[in-house]
Structure 1
């Protein structure tokens, strides 16, 4: 296929498909390859992975999946293409490529997302690339459309595509991924912290020097977006109760790994074995989802190992760890000793967690595509130079770090 000659209208569906969405109302799909990707088993697996991990333990309605988030990112990228100036600067082949990348950008997430990655030293972006380019339905769909198309799609996610505009749409400090998850997560948690004016930001998008920039008239909308992200992290994503749930999950997997080394008989946990044995490929990876893991936890909650059974019961029945601010390592050591005397193994029952977040990363130049640049009287300036609010945030020397320690209630 000649990418320069390809036109979206050549492959457009006669009858477009519509997905009703809580955030974006109607999500339209009019390209066969997009619809086929949505129906692939790798994409459908994302229905069985929660977008927010343990956050539903705090905000009970936060049960939305990575599937609906992925559709939302596709929707916003499609809006960027057809409802902003961006569409004039990319050909139809690249438009389809970036829409596919938007839809598939999170396909490599495992059960319980980032928490699961930390336990098994995995990276969801690496597995996203492996799934797109490996032996998968997704790969076959992309290659059936055009030979080599899967590599072009994955290159956007890897930030290697020659057209930097496409990368910015998916991965930057103001991208479709972040815009969707802020709006979506705010809605499903029942909070207002993540609200910002999406359509105003789309209206002020421009392309200058082959990169996305923003008109000065949109600075206030961008400031609201930056603040929304800041508040969502501290009020929602880093909520200590959610982190307690995740620490309990980490302790379960830590215990399972320790028991596996000792030759413990778990019973049938076939889909988890590749992770314990450190032999995970994209096929094994996509067979595991949260439903399977929760089933395994139920079985182990009635197993012979008392520590694993107790941890699984706590996880399943929301008997979460207590927590408080950790002030020193000496304090942690004293708490570990105290719980050891009470009969708890501190390796699993006394755990700590540090979280920090930078609302805007200031590169101090316009060379990084992650930098948000503002067009002021035909001159490009980085956001902190034209926004007092963002400037104050980036010039602050205080890096907020939240240290927490978690332990069982006696």
Structure 2
């Protein structure tokens, strides 16, 4: 058999992802049509109520299976994708550094809603909680975007560098694996970053850090889905399904990651 080239493999995987995407789009489209054309949605997902709990009738088990599988794909291929994770951790570090700079008394541009959280320390009083909530509700992505763009020229070199990396899409290099990274490997990267960027020990966590992410598509403990049979008995969907991988979806999958600047790769 002829060995598959890298480009051919890439095209095959890309095609598969697009197929899955349009399957989800088609399912959503069908649901929207059903809602706005006065079609009973229960024909798409037959549900019932037993002991004040919402359950799914047995004929709807295949819809539940597809939903759980699609949910797993969306988490690992979208929400927890390594590029998304790299951008998210970079933005978190930017806000951490901005908060640190602000608490030092340094002048820092920010929109009014974001300025409140940079320069104020939340307290436990009820009045303060209402004030915090009022400012929080005024926050949106535009507050973050315009502030980060302004910080690209800030005098704090760590803050300006991190902001420039986000604005110009120079994200962290991120590596994912199932086992924790060896401590000597992490320490070696820290030493390289320290020399390359001339960092102090306090500045190091902004450039080299590790962590973990976890996800499970279905948790019987917190979001149990029960199937109602015609004889009135109830059964958990993981047990009722004849798909072996549905039981696997109820297990927590944990992955470890390490982030560092691409200059160190």
- 1:290-318 deviation per Cα after TM superposition (whole angstroms, max 9, x unaligned): 11221111211112111111111111111
Give yes or no for the alignment of 1:331 onto 2:174. Answer: no
State which of 212, 216, 226 in structure 2 corresponds to 1:354: 212
2:108 corresponding residue in structure 1: 266
1:213, 1:374 within 8 Å by CA — same for their partners in 2? yes
Give yes or no for the alignment of 1:304 onto 2:143. Answer: no
Distance 1:358 1:351 in 2: 24
Structure 1 residues 350 and 194: alpha-carbon distance in aligned structure 2, compared to 1, 3 A threshold: farther
1:278 corresponding residue in structure 2: 121
Give yes or no for the alignment of 1:232 onto 2:74. Answer: yes
1:193, 1:231 within 8 Å by CA — same for their partners in 2? no
2:84 corresponding residue in structure 1: 242
- 1:48-95 deviation per Cα after TM superposition (whole angstroms, max 9, x unaligned): xxxxxxxxxxxxxxxxxxxxxxxxxxxxxxxxxxxxxxxxxxxxxxxx
Q: How much does 1:282 deviate? A: 1.7
Distance 1:194 1:278 in 2: 43
Q: How much does 1:330 deviate? A: 3.2
Structure 1 residues 391 and 224: alpha-carbon distance in aligned structure 2, compared to 1, 3 A threshold: closer
Distance 2:57 2:161 in 1: 56
Q: Secondary structure at the match of 1:320?
A: coil
Q: Tell me the TM-score normalized by structure 2.
A: 0.72
Distance 2:104 2:121 in 1: 15
2:55, 2:226 within 8 Å by CA — same for their partners in 1? yes
Query: What residue ranges of structure 1 are gaps of 5+ in the alignment?
Result: 1-185
Distance 1:267 1:391 in 2: 50
Q: How much does 1:394 deviate? A: 5.7
Q: How does 1:148-167 map to 2 (within 5 A)?
A: none
- 1:16-42 deviation per Cα after TM superposition (whole angstroms, max 9, x unaligned): xxxxxxxxxxxxxxxxxxxxxxxxxxx
State which of 191, 197, 205 in structure 1 corresponds to 2:21: 191
Q: How much does 1:238 deviate? A: 0.8
Give yes or no for the alignment of 1:222 onto 2:64. Answer: yes
Structure 1 residues 322 and 193: alpha-carbon distance in aligned structure 2, compared to 1, 3 A threshold: farther
Q: Once superposed, what is the RMSD of the aligned Cα atoms?
A: 2.6
2:109, 2:147 within 8 Å by CA — same for their partners in 1? no
Give yes or no for the alignment of 1:292 onto 2:143. Answer: yes
Structure 1 residues 283 and 391: alpha-carbon distance in aligned structure 2, compared to 1, 3 A threshold: closer
Which deviates more from structure 2 when the two are superposed, residues 297-306 or residues 190-199?
190-199
Distance 1:319 1:348 in 2: 14
2:216, 2:250 within 8 Å by CA — same for their partners in 1? no
Q: How much does 1:260 deviate? A: 1.9
1:323, 1:407 within 8 Å by CA — same for their partners in 2? yes
Q: How many residues in Structure 1 have an aligned counterpart in Structure 2? A: 216
2:128 corresponding residue in structure 1: none
Distance 2:249 2:98 in 1: 42
2:173, 2:261 within 8 Å by CA — same for their partners in 1? yes
Distance 2:150 2:91 in 1: 15
State which of 53, 61, 77 in structure 2 corresponds to 1:211: 53
- 1:112-132 deviation per Cα after TM superposition (whole angstroms, max 9, x unaligned): xxxxxxxxxxxxxxxxxxxxx
Q: Secondary structure at the match of 1:356?
A: strand
1:49 corresponding residue in structure 2: none
State which of 238, 255, 258 in structure 2 corresponds to 1:402: 255
* Structure of higher RCO (CA pairs closer than 8 Å, 6+ residues apart): 2
Distance 1:394 1:379 in 2: 23
Q: Secondary structure at the match of 2:256?
A: strand
Q: How much does 1:391 deviate? A: 5.3
Q: How much does 1:362 deviate? A: 2.1
